[in-house]
Amino acid sequence: MKSLLLDTNVLIRFLRGDDRIAKNIAGYATVVVPTIVIGEYKAGADPDTNAGRIQLSMLDSFLEDEAVKVVEMSEDIADAYARIFRVLKKNGTPIPQNDLWIAACAITKGAVVYSLDTHFSNVPLLERVVG
């Protein structure tokens, strides 16, 4: 079975207790979280507030789960990024830069992307969970 790679918007909703998101995630033995997603999540959590500290604590607990694999960017992911970038540019269907990295990570790792963003459908060969 393939792994499920979480986009930031799904991670946020999951950590807020969204049951629909949790059910979709539960169908996978391994959940992949790219460092790009961790950075985006942390950017939205202010450690100087109680709410931000709670958000960061929830993230830390989630990342400690043995089913969760954090993926750092690597040269093979950079190569995939470049290929996808060129295809999307040629097709006139660019996507946000961080999402391009997320797509490259998913393709390189053979994972299915779980995102609420529809623009991932512009990426050829990318498997997605919708909604």
Q: Domains of the chain by range and CATH?
A: 4-130 (3.40.50.1010)
Phi/psi at 30 (5° precision): -125, 135
**Could you read off the pLDDT of 33-74 as tens digits, one per residue?**
999 999 999 999 999 999 999 999 999 999 999 999 999 999
Q: What is the pTM of this model?
A: 0.94
Q: Report d(CA 111, CA 38) in Å as an integer.
A: 17
Q: Above 80 in pLDDT, residue 1?
A: no
